[in-house]
Amino acid sequence: MTSKTSPKMPRNYQIASGLQRFSKARMFHAKGMWVKLKKPFEKKAKHAQKAEKFVVKKIGGEKNGGERKVLKKKEPKLLPQVPSVQIKNKNRPKKVPLRKSISPGTVLIILAGRHRGKRVIFIKQLPKSGLLLVTGPLKLNATPLRRIAQAFVIATKTKLDISTMNVPEHLDDKYFKRQSGKVADRSKGGIFAEGANQQYAVTDQRKEDQKTVDSQVMEVIRKHPEKKFLFGYLGSRFHLAKGMHPHKNGLLIPFYDDRIRNCCLLFRRTAREYTYYFSLD
């Protein structure tokens, strides 16, 4: 014969989907599990004795008391009535996403700067700033290793397989940062002072890294089945001849105002044409 006992309700039960009546911490304490908990934590060391604020100095004179206490660090004369809380900067730089049309080995067309119109090869994206690391190579179009923003390049459909390349790890934003020298003092000769007009000189480390990267890129180009075409393609500047239209040549340009302006300067077309013809990335 079955016993006539009422069903017991569990100590902790669900009051909503995925929500318990008591938390894990409260049930841990209610079950007395804290007794079995080992406490390997050492006791905190007592705080060191506070440094004295005053220094005792002896003073001459019978009626001066013989000694006085002097503050080591003088406090400000005016103290704020309401304590000011310094707001911390919680902004963190976000990771710059890479465009879908750009991948390692893609041939890019530069839109602005001294190398405007040149075709370069994309090596990698720098993690901190999100800038693109590109190279000419230097032997083909005189474009060295340099950084460039995605807003100033067009991605073409031409791509090389550079998966076998070993790019030096020290090629980062800190590597390309120039060291600003001290400004010459005008009172000591001004612009005629020694070392006042120092021009930028390429370091031996930069030359060595340029040779290391370019030698691997040139080897990839030589192994390509259309190497003769690639040498002429990378060595020439981009231009639109008669009857050529950028929207028919597979040039994918995202819709940004600054990029449209740079394309107008390079291609000598109106902005209305580019906003109508260019495909979105």
Q: Are 155 and 210 in contact (CB under 8 A)?
A: no
Q: Which of 137-151, 238-252, 262-276 holds the top average pLDDT?
A: 137-151
- For 77-99, the pLDDT digits (tens) are 888 888 788 888 888 778 889 99
Mean pLDDT value of segment 254-265: 48
Can you give the three-state secondary structure of the chain, one letter per residue?
Answer: CCCCCCCCCCCCCEEECCEECCCHHHHHHHCCHHHCCCCCCCCCCCCCCCCCCEEEEECCCCCCCCEEEEECCCCCCCCCCCCCCCCCCCCCCCCCCCCCCCCCCEEEEECCCCCCCCEEEEEEECCCCCCEEEECCHHHHCCCCEEECHHHEEEEEEECCCCCCCCCCCCCHHHHCCCCCCCCCHHHCHHHCCCCCCCCCCCHHHHHHHHHHHHHHHHHHHHCCCHHHHHHHHHCCCCCCCCCCHHHCCCECCCCHHHHHHHHHHHCCCHHHHHHHCECC
pLDDT of 119 over the 90 cut: yes
pLDDT band at 52 (very low <50, low <70, confident <90, very high): confident
> What pLDDT was estimated at residue 109?
93
The reported pTM is 0.57
pLDDT of 171 over the 60 cut: yes
pLDDT of 254 over the 60 cut: no
pLDDT band at 252 (very low <50, low <70, confident <90, very high): very low
Neighbouring C-beta atoms of residue 202, cutoff 10 Å = 9
In the chain, the domains with their CATH numbers are: 106-176+203-252 (2.30.30)
> What pLDDT was estimated at residue 221?
94
Mean residue pLDDT of the chain comes to 80
pLDDT of 242 over the 90 cut: no
Mean pLDDT value of segment 39-48: 67
Among 21-25, 115-119, 187-191, the range scoring the smallest mean pLDDT is 187-191
> What pLDDT was estimated at residue 277?
40
Alpha-carbon span 120 to 233, nearest angstrom: 10
pLDDT of 273 over the 60 cut: no
2 or 76, higher pLDDT: 76
pLDDT band at 207 (very low <50, low <70, confident <90, very high): very high
> What pLDDT was estimated at residue 192?
58
Alpha-carbon span 77 to 70, nearest angstrom: 16
> What pLDDT was estimated at residue 263?
56
Neighbouring C-beta atoms of residue 125, cutoff 10 Å = 20
Neighbouring C-beta atoms of residue 160, cutoff 10 Å = 19
